[in-house]
Structure 1
Amino acid sequence: MAEINRDDVAHLARLAHIDMTDEELDRMAGELAVIVDSIKTVSEVAGDDVPATSHPIPLSNVFREDVVGETLSNEEALLGAPDNADGRFKVPAILDGE
């Protein structure tokens, strides 16, 4: 079993500013020990001939080509605007003095 004890968990809880009861500290020490042991087992099985992976299947670029399509004219874009001026959308000011 991994060498994670109650004192280690209490130290980590203090660093993370997490209040834990004595029961929670004991339970968490056991759970973390199981997790560390599981990681050790996987590390032992995965030898130098097994490449590290971040995803189980190969990924490929899924972006489409950046091709200009049909666009609206300035007039068409402003057609449904509640307010416009000088060929632009007119919106309420959000900053003072401007």
Structure 2
Amino acid sequence: MLDTMLDAVRPGGVVVNVSIWGAPATVDMQKLVLKEIDLRGTIAYVRDHPAVIKMVQEGKVDLKPFITGRIALDDLVEQGFDTLINHKDTAVKVLVHP
């Protein structure tokens, strides 16, 4: 998809990659340089927390769908880390309680 975006963007345009890759990405540097593309990466955390917290407080965002598990502290390694590492397609947030 990244290669397709480099093809699609206009010369001098900006491509923003908002994701975490499961493996190192390959970038065609010729496309990047010859079209003078500005390639940026983000995970959408920088300076976003205050606005998101406000949206949650105002009830504009429901966090319940993001909570995919609740576990005890004693189960952190076996159920918490294992779930987030091996089930990335379905696990989003696992809440840990004492």
Fold match (TM-score > 0.5): no
Say which structure, 1 or 2, has more relative contact order (CA 8 Å, 6+ apart): 2
Q: TM-score, normalised by structure 1?
A: 0.20
User: Which structure has the greater CA radius of gyration?
Assistant: 1
> TM-score, structure 2 length as denominator?
0.20
